[in-house]
Chains A and B, each alone.
Chain A
């Protein structure tokens, strides 16, 4: 292990120390040496002396499949540390067939307060686990967690829900309080991942934050706004069809991830008490269809791929059709750059049109929201459960 060494300040407002380690025990010793080497009062670049206060309110564990993802994760977590000081552990399983090895870079960073206030210090462990060590994270991570603090596990890419070591890690080893995922990054159509997520949620009771669902918050607000008008509200009980159009790769429309378009329908259905009667099936024209039961009738769901050069799986339009007492309501919510447009039309009347802001949210924004969410969010839980029911495998017989 290298001796703990002071680094040059990362920014004019922070100081950092780092060390390297090659085993879990080494990592613990490295942290101890860093804190022993860090003086009680550090002198910042501004010449002020700052009391060094080691702070953690959270254990933050991220599993990154590549160097690039690890860098992205560290950038997002780094932007939160001054407000959510945490022990952050970023694990990169490497070279599964290679020799067993552990390489860790341990860093303590102190954000300096203005003037001579206390510096808030956090710890980051970037850990590369090679060979079969990468498949036994459940044995590596527990000793590195600060005890009695909540654990958030972020798995930014495809999650191996089916692997026994994932279940062991999530449920038994680190006893995570929150699992943060991004369903829009899952491989293929993403439906297997969705089933896995529902399984994990049911088995562990863990709180879930899915960036794919969180990114749609403005869409949800826009869709809800169409029914805020008292005249249109009763139509919520008479919805007959929901159609979601999404961007799809020209080469492989069926292989496009449909988690985001499915979440729109699942959210609406979960709010209105719908259940899945026929899960999604792929039609010859590439559309996916499903049938849901509402309290007094059925709802036809269509997910419609629209060939595009844009990244696949992004929702471009949501259409809701409802009929009530021989009157028909059509609501159409369409994506615009940084906005969504809601158009509601009752029979042949003049359509009501409204624009809503829908600024893109970064990983750091979403992560902050996830960290600040307390406990299980009923909206997320119900939407994921219905999405999972619609993604059931039995329906794929129709393909």
Chain B
């Protein structure tokens, strides 16, 4: 036996025999005993309690804060899921003091809290943790005072330097607020000095360029691990269950591919109009408001490959991969596979309603779409050739969000003599309302002849678990406080989603004006939308 070549690492780093390596490892462990995880946490089914924290709510007097964010915080408090050492610093321009702001949120809770009536004692203890800070979001002085308040909060209320900044403001305020937080050093995490996180509400930009610009602005101040981009659909129980459904069960995953799935339909239908958000909606439209985020997020969750772990980045890596695989739409594709619409006056739930152009804050000649339907393809091994039909709209007949996996027909029709038309098997995941999962398959109708009829197996959350499903904002707020980014959107996800949507918007901008309005409120959108699946010999599911 001869000596091998000299190790390039030098004599001190020569490869060790296994025994020596093992003993050296033991020696290293003895020298530096470290336990990184708290073993007392293992197996605790209880939700982990967030650290003491000061939550800074920008846009606290706005609609989103009143309808969603503050009720979610109240509900977490009511469920004892917020630490007792919590402060909520509400920021707004209105000339309120603590008392008037508390009165206003009490009114909001009476209207929007998930569990009614509001419990007086719970409210009292919650309200005493809420303080109001009046200030202009563009002014340096506002942030200087905020920094001083937060220091006082650490000292007087034990919030330990932990901060959650929640931006419930118009998107135009995101970048200035982030810059100001950086200017006064409120982004900085120092060892033992508490964590700093920022929650940003959609829209994350209004096109690919603005999204990249916003991401750059945020990244100048906060690390990606500190940024929580909230898409509330991801906090919904059924959406979270989609991951469990796909990856905790063996029986569905073998069917979850082009070999067995004929097509997928994802619907986000709203019966409401734009309400008082006409001016906002004019700039947004259904494509930016729903398709770019909610619908594409749902598509990603349905189509992604199993992540290696349930870690936030592993999950988001897989979502990004599938978004990258969505086939880009050329102009001709947009003309053929995407249909937009705008509602005219009509009837919804037995009430006459105005058309979009008659809504407050809406241009009477508006070309903003209130409906969009699209056919997308995913060019990967699993989904090549399987169309994904996506649709969303306002003033549709009912509020319903659903993902439907429609399976292929059996290769050989054995029961041709059946009186009923055979329907393909179907798996429908209802996101809202009435969250649950439905499996449709064929069964024999009792009788002497062989008649096959579609029957449903229906799982409803409400009838299977005694725990009420939390509101999506409660889930996401708690996750942000606990530092779990799994259900938040990463910067590259946002950009990939804009990449998919950009050709659609570009084609509309370049093309002739649409013939709006083109569907009556209370209908399922413009007739042309039927052609999106119709061209492939399919039809929209009746919901």
Q: Which residues of A contact B (CB under 8 A)?
A: 57, 80, 82-85, 120, 217-218, 220-221, 223-225, 227-228, 233-234, 236-237, 268, 271-272, 339, 353-359, 368, 371-373, 377-379
Contacts and interface: CB of A to CB of B under 8 A. Distances in A.
Given A356-B84, A379-B43, A228 B35 contact: no
A286 B334 CA distance: 83
Contact of B52 (A217, A233, A354): A354
A354 B83 contact: yes
Given A83-B462, A84-B466, A223 B84 contact: no
B38 A372 contact: no
B465 A372 contact: yes
Interface string B41-55: 111111011001000
Interface of B: 33-36, 38-46, 48-49, 52, 80, 83-85, 158, 462-467
B463 A217 contact: no
B484 to A, nearest CB: 15
B348 to A, nearest CB: 19
3 nearest CB pairs, A to B? A357-B80, A379-B43, A224-B40
B465 A378 contact: no
A83 to B, nearest CB: 4
A378 B35 contact: no
B463 A379 contact: no
A220 B44 contact: yes
A221 to B, nearest CB: 5
Given A233-B35, A354-B52, A359-B80, A227 B40 contact: yes
Contacts of A272: 39-40
Nearest to A220: B44
B319 to A, nearest CB: 28
Residue of B45, B52, B84, B85 with highest tally of chain A CB at under 10 A: B45
Nearest to A80: B466
Given A217-B44, A220-B46, A377-B45, A233 B464 contact: no
Given A85-B463, A236-B35, 9 more contacts: A84-B466, A218-B80, A224-B44, A228-B38, A234-B35, A271-B43, A355-B84, A355-B85, A373-B45
Contacts of B85: 354-355
18 contacts: A83-B462, A83-B463, A84-B466, A218-B46, A220-B44, A221-B49, A225-B49, A234-B34, A236-B38, A236-B39, A237-B35, A271-B43, A354-B85, A358-B80, A373-B45, A377-B45, A378-B43, A379-B42
A295 B38 CA distance: 16
Contact of A368 (B36, B40, B466): B466
Given A220-B46, A234-B33, A83 B464 contact: yes
A344 to B, nearest CB: 13
Contacts of B464: 57, 83-84
Contacts of A378: 43
Contacts of A120: 463
Contact of B38 (A233, A339, A368, A371): A233
Q: Which residue, of B43, B84, B465, has the highest number of chain A Cβ atoms within 10 A?
A: B43
A84 to B, nearest CB: 6
Contacts of B466: 80, 83-84, 368, 371-372
B230 to A, nearest CB: 25
Contacts of A223: 40
Contacts of B34: 234
A88 to B, nearest CB: 15
A261 B209 CA distance: 61
Contacts of A233: 35-36, 38
Contacts of A353: 158
B36 to A, nearest CB: 8
Given A120-B463, A356-B49, A372-B465, A224 B38 contact: yes
A118 B394 CA distance: 30
A357 B50 CA distance: 12
A221 B46 contact: yes
A372 B49 CA distance: 21
A227 B467 contact: no
A377 B42 CA distance: 12
A235 B48 CA distance: 21
Contacts of A358: 80
A225 B48 CA distance: 9
Contacts of B45: 217, 373, 377, 379
A271 B39 contact: yes
A339 B83 CA distance: 11
A379 B40 CA distance: 10
B84 A227 contact: no
Nearest to A268: B40
Nearest to A267: B40
B288 to A, nearest CB: 36
A233 B33 CA distance: 11
Nearest to B39: A271
B283 to A, nearest CB: 39
Nearest to A359: B80
A380 B52 CA distance: 29
A368 B42 contact: no
A164 to B, nearest CB: 34
A227 B42 CA distance: 13
